[in-house]
Structure 1
Amino acid sequence: MSKNLLEIAMPASLLVVAGAIGGCLLLLGGELTRFPPDELVNESTCSGMGVADSSQATSSGAQTLVVSEVDPAAIAAGDALFKGNCAQCHALHDVVVGPALAGIGQRRPRAWTVSWVKNSSKLVASGDEYAVKIFHQYQKQQMPSFQLSNEEINQIIDYVESEQWRGMVSVVD
């Protein structure tokens, strides 16, 4: 290589490497101070902080999260209902017979989840794409239909959303 090319290429390469390292450090620093990570926050709860109702765009285009409080009695009822009806086949973070339920609010709208819990077979038979995918993903294991009210199912969802972040550690400056 000519001397002129090396004089240009070497500093440019070092600048690119330094920029990449700096970008990684900034990204890592941002990830360690955010709890929970933005991409996981949608309709979720941060243990006792409430349930996210929606996100709203600010004038700068950034997303903010609107959080409302959930009744502790509803979460306690959801806990009991979960243990009595769901825990045999589901856990929050682990696949048991069915899928892990943490993050359910990000995967499907609440109304869909209520319909699924009431009668998953009906959703599969209707050809609902996500229902069919779950049915096949879990070896065509049919989830039993539950005679739970919408309120009871929503209490279970509130419980799952309130518990999904429990035990996670946040590193803050």
Structure 2
Amino acid sequence: MLNLKSNVATTSVARTLFHWVMELEKHVRDGTPRELLLNTFPTLKAATAFIADASAEGVRISAKEGALSNSVRRSLWLRQWSGDFRSKSKLCGIPFEGEYVFGPELDTILERTADKKKGFPESRASLKKPSFHDPKERRPSFRGKGKQGRWSYPKGGRGRGFLLNPSNSATSFRKQ
């Protein structure tokens, strides 16, 4: 967003400066006195200095946006890996080089793991708990349990019309 603001400001000042230079050229051709022409130079210098500063700021902001974009891409890529947070944070913080998201640094980190196979170090907690439920595990059904379950009442008990047709015990309670 900041880069957009500096680019808009730079563009508007550059357009104005272009207009002023065209006017200055017209005044030089028409023979305007030299003193009047020299009075316009501080304004032209200020506009040129602003454009230089704003474009340098735009380059700085673009570089920062690129670095943040790369960090976000790294974080999203690592999110799917099973591993401890500390190792993932270290990987996100390595300097960017090359054309890949992590560069050659990732290969050296993967090769330094304890069992010498290419893999990411995992925390002990993530090794114990599965990411999805165990298919062998029996889960309770969310449906009713038929005529004998907790969702239905035996004959003579509280039925569907309990609230609208209270039983005798409830009406006798009201009479007291």
TM over 0.5: no
Q: TM-score, normalised by structure 2?
A: 0.31
Larger Rg: 2
Higher share in strand: 1
Higher share in helix: 2
